[in-house]
Amino acid sequence: MQVAIGIVVVAIVIYAAVKGFQYYIDKQVRQLTERQQALVKQSQTTDFEKIEQLGLTGGSLEKLEALQSAGQEVENDQLPAVSDKLATITTEARGIKFLDAQQNLKKVAALLDQIEQRQAEIRDGLQALDDADAAHRQAVASLEKKYQNLRKTLLSQNFSFGPSIDKLEDQLANLESDFDHFSELAKAGDHDAAEKVLDQLHHDTGALEMDIDRIPPIYKDLVSGFPDQLAELASGYQQLTAQHFHFEVDSIEPEIQGLKQAIDDNTALLGDLKVTDAENGNHAIEKRIDHLYDVMQAEIDAKAIVDQRQEEISKFLTHAMNQNHRLQVELDRLAQSYTLNNNEVERTRELNEQLKNIQAVYQADTTAITSKQAVFSEIAAHFEEQDKQLTGIEEEQVAINQGVANLTAEESKAHETLQRFDFEIHAVKRQVENLNLPGLPKDYLDYFKVVAKEIERLDHDINKLVINMDDITKQLIVIQADMATLKEKTDDLTDAALIAEQLLQYANRYKNSHEDVQEASVEAQRLFNEAHDYARSLEVIATAVDKVDPGSYKRIEDSYYANKQAANPDADA
């Protein structure tokens, strides 16, 4: 019983599966059939007749025939073949050939995709033929109107084109001939051949339109603008020469003649329709004319500058030469008493040569003005340069004068300083002698002699017939520093000697009771009396006394400096 039940269940499952797959296949077949029927309708509604009525010829007709052939193949062969395959799939599904049916479904779907693409290409191809026909009809109307306008322009404004008019009319005639050929091809329906002619027509028509736009302003400059300017230049040049103007290079008249020839050459280029060359030629002519205007205007402007600055430069030059003469006289006088270390005399001579050169150029320019042979732009440039040179010379003169102006005052001050140094070194000598010391340290004596010799040398050099103030100043600086050092050394020597004497006297109270103080006192006396090393003597006795009486040295030292300050309140402690 269980086996029988199992068999029944399996049978039921198999039956259900078969029915389910058959249902799936039927559904796919219905969907594909709907696609096929839709493509059949599209094929039947494709409007070949509309395009046939255009009366195409040549390559366009060949394209139409190819599209018709493809449409017939789709309608008569490919679409019926799809119907047959769908019927076969249905039969295979009923016969449980599910694998075959599934594979054929994929093939039919792919074939329908191909048919859809083919029909889209056919429609696009027909539309392109229709669009080309419409575009060419529009082009015929547009170009015909454009040529009528171009001919009207050439006829009504032929005077604006000058020598170009004949070739422009020839070009327009050639374009109209090409247009007639294009129109015939378009009307005949050979749109492929017409398209090639149309491309060239558009290019050539555009070029002609550009020439018609560009030529009138070019020709206007050549026939009126430039000649008027040249006439104005020629008239202006005659007026300037009548007013005795001259130019750096006498090339204005030849340049005017050259420009007339350039105008003729450019007019010939227009006659040959070399429009770009003529346009570039006009730009070159314009620059050359502007240059001539600039040259003439420069001389007019330069004359105004020369008239304004001639007297100014004359006064400036006279002043500079007078200043240089006075400076040379002063330097000659100072050179008799002082050594001039900065080449002042040579520099002043060089300035004098510069002034002579400036004067020579100025006199030549003045002569040219007086004789009415002046090129004012050159003279204006000379004045500008001379003003810069004279300004520089004046600054140099001031610098030289300031450098030597204080020599006498510096000499007087140097004498005063020398006298002060002499007084100070004698004061130092008296200060030391008043100490009544047994002798002086060798290093101190050596330094004193050095300072004394420096003062002696300064006294000798400052009383020479010709004084070198730079050297005198350097000596003063050195002596000033050395004198300060000598005073410091003298104060140190004095302080050490006097404090040492006081400490030696103070130490007497401890000599009998303290052997180390006795020994230190003997050594300090030796250093004081024999070695004359007062600083060392002070150090030895101070150390010994401070051991037996701490703070005694500080007390004696403070008392000494207090008394010293009281005796000489203006001096540093």
Residue 94: per-residue pLDDT? 55
Contact 163, 268 (CB under 8 A): yes
Residue 122: per-residue pLDDT? 67
Mean pLDDT score of the chain: 78
How does pLDDT run across 432-450, given as a tens digit for each residue? 999 899 999 999 999 999 9
β-bridge mates for residue 338, sequence order: 467
Name residue 156's amino acid: S
The better pLDDT of the pair 7, 116 is held by: 116
Q: Give helix 98-156 / helix 2-45 axis angle, nearest 10°.
A: 20
With H, G, I as helix, E, B as strand and everything else as coil, classify residue 317.
helix
Structure tokens at 456: 């002696």
Residue 465: per-residue pLDDT? 77
With H, G, I as helix, E, B as strand and everything else as coil, classify residue 573.
coil
Average pLDDT of span 366-385: 90
**Nearest CA among 377, 386, 388, 384 for reference residue 304:** 377
Top-confidence range, 1-10, 144-153, 201-210, 465-474: 465-474
Structure tokens at 177: 């001939």
Residue 15: per-residue pLDDT? 45
Q: Give helix 275-335 / helix 252-271 axis angle, nearest 10°.
A: 160
Average pLDDT of span 137-144: 59
Structure tokens at 206: 């555009």
Residue 141: per-residue pLDDT? 55
Cβ neighbours of residue 43 under 8 Å, at least 6 residues apart? 71, 74, 75, 79, 119
Measured CA to CA in angstroms, residue 255 lies from 232, 246, 259, 286, 356 at distances of 14, 16, 6, 13, 39
Q: How far apart are CA 459 and CA 422, in angstroms?
A: 9
